[in-house]
Amino acid sequence: MTSRILMHVGPSIGNYDVLSAAVQPNIGFASPEFNSAMKDSLDGFRYVTGSDSSYTPFILPGSGTVAMESVISFIPRGSRILVVSNGVFGDRWEAIFSRYPLEIKVLKAEAGKAVPLEDIDREVSSGKYYAVAMTQVETSTGVRLDVASVAKAVRKHVELVIVDGVASIGGEAMKASQWGIDVCLTASQKAMGAQAGAGLLVASPTAMEKLRGESISGYFADLRNWSDIMNKFLAGGGGYFATPPIGTVFSIQKSVDLIRTETMEARVRRHEICSQAFRAGIEHLGLEVLASEKLRSNTVTGVIVGGINIADFLQRCIKRGVEFGAGVHPAVKDRYFRVGHMGWVQPAHIVAALNTIESALGEMGKKVEAGSALAASEIFSRHSGI
């Protein structure tokens, strides 16, 4: 079979060097090679998240959800938590927090929209919240929350500002130290573009201080079990609490090496231009982008298409060699699909994706304006060198 272009919302578009770095002959987790892969990955993750050396990075076996659940380690029993939810993954914070002895309030946005800053500000300035948890890019809709502004507004009212950056970190700007974010997290397979298998987070000194208190966390994801080990890796040594995702860590090491070479600034710019070009093509086709205009992310686009069977459409795209994601937001589930343009995305992927969408829709009898790839190419030609 010829290789497929994977433009799902993560994993998305692979990089051979990054994916193949996961295959190492006979390397154990106590080896010097693994210790340095962990050190490079932890240091690199601080770079990707704009965290200074006072932040403690963690790499845990699992996925983004493990990193989310590990946040419980920082929160005392009975705390009040404000969740800002712009969709299905914002709701996941609620699902996690509600398993623990905490009081939760959730502010929710409609599909394609974000909870307004004023609403968050009003709620949090009541002064009763211990933490605010939010999602930088809501993967169910492609909405990007301006986490810098939210953090600025809530910072003085709460102990901890927590950001799920699973669909954004590595493709959107994240400046944890500068923006006053205590905890931000992701998964290896998303915009970091590495093999699946790890959850990653960074924690500010304020957050780390909270680990001294009583824990309401479960056993595996209690960061009290992991923090000494992470510090040992950072110092060039090693340690064990539970088996790390060995291959994935080598893949992350390669990914952060390439990210440093490209620089985060250039990487975010590349994502921005590719996403703009993709949306230009989608609008040229006469289709609608789910996220409101000012809220569109660099990494995920939800595309609304009326009058067709989306599952059938996605299969036709796969036959043409490009895989996209189905819709998951309950309010619009059967009327849209999701496209991931993250990690190692290049202009050629965008052009191929648009051609595929255009021809699959044409085959299904949907009237669309031809030439979407050309609309995208016009944007690329204005930004050479990405």
Provide the 8-state DSSP code for 126: T
- Nearest in space to 176 (alpha carbons), one of 164, 188, 167: 164
Determine, following the binding rule CB under 6 A, whether residue 324 of this chain makes contact with ligand PMP: no
- Of the residues 135, 276, 297, 377, which one makes contact with ligand PMP according to CB under 6 A: 135
**Quick check: helix, strand or coil at residue 184?**
strand
Residue 139 within binding range of ligand PMP, rule CB under 6 A? yes
Compare residues 63 and 253 and give the one whose CB is closer to ligand PMP.
63
User: What is the smallest separation between the CB atom of 88 and ligand PMP, expressed in angstroms?
Assistant: 8
Contact between 208 and ligand PMP per CB under 6 A: no
- Whose tokens are 């994935």? That residue is 248
- Dihedral sign of CA atoms 272, 273, 278, 284 in order: positive
Contact between 301 and ligand PMP per CB under 6 A: no
For residue 296, what is the DSSP state?
A: B
Q: Could you tell me which stretch among 113-121, 162-170, 227-235, 329-337 binds ligand PMP (CB under 6 A)? A: 162-170
Can you tell me the distance from the alpha carbon of 287 to that of 340, in angstroms, rounded to the nearest whole number? 17
Judged by CB, which is closer to ligand PMP: 87, or 281?
A: 87
Give strand pairing partners of 59.
200
C-beta closer to ligand PMP: residue 70 or 377: 70
Question: Residue 311 CB: number of other CB atoms within 10 A?
Answer: 11
**Least distance from C-beta 110 to ligand PMP, angstroms?**
18
Residue 372 is a binding residue for ligand PMP (CB under 6 A): no
Q: What's the closest the beta carbon of residue 332 comes to ligand PMP, in angstroms?
A: 17
In the complex, the smallest distance separating the C-beta of residue 92 from ligand PMP, rounded to whole angstroms, is 6
The single-letter DSSP state of residue 190 is S
Question: How near is the Cβ of 52 to ligand PMP at its closest, in Å?
Answer: 24
Q: How many residues bind ligand PMP (CB under 6 A)?
A: 11
Alpha carbon 271 to its chain centroid, in Å, reads: 13
Question: CB 240: neighbour CB atoms within 10 A?
Answer: 10
CB of 174 to ligand PMP, least distance (A): 13
Query: What are the backbone dihedrals phi and psi of residue 303, each rounded to the nearest 5 degrees, phi first?
Result: -115, 125
Touching ligand PMP, residues 14-73 (CB under 6 A)? 63-65
Q: Pick from 45, 58, 89, 97: which binds ligand PMP (CB under 6 A)?
A: 89
Answer for which of 21, 167, 191, 345 binds ligand PMP (CB under 6 A) is 167
Q: Where are the alpha helices (DSSP H) in the chain?
A: 16-20, 32-48, 64-70, 88-97, 117-124, 147-154, 176-179, 205-210, 227-234, 246-262, 264-284, 310-319, 347-363, 372-382
* Segment near ligand PMP (CB under 6 A); pick from 23-31, 96-104, 159-167, 215-223: 159-167
Answer for which of 123, 164, 222, 272 binds ligand PMP (CB under 6 A) is 164
Residue 283: CB atoms within 10 A of its CB come to 15
| Nearest of 72, 1, 20 to residue 255 by alpha carbon | 20
Residues that bind ligand PMP (CB under 6 A): 63-65, 89, 92, 135, 139, 164, 166-167, 187
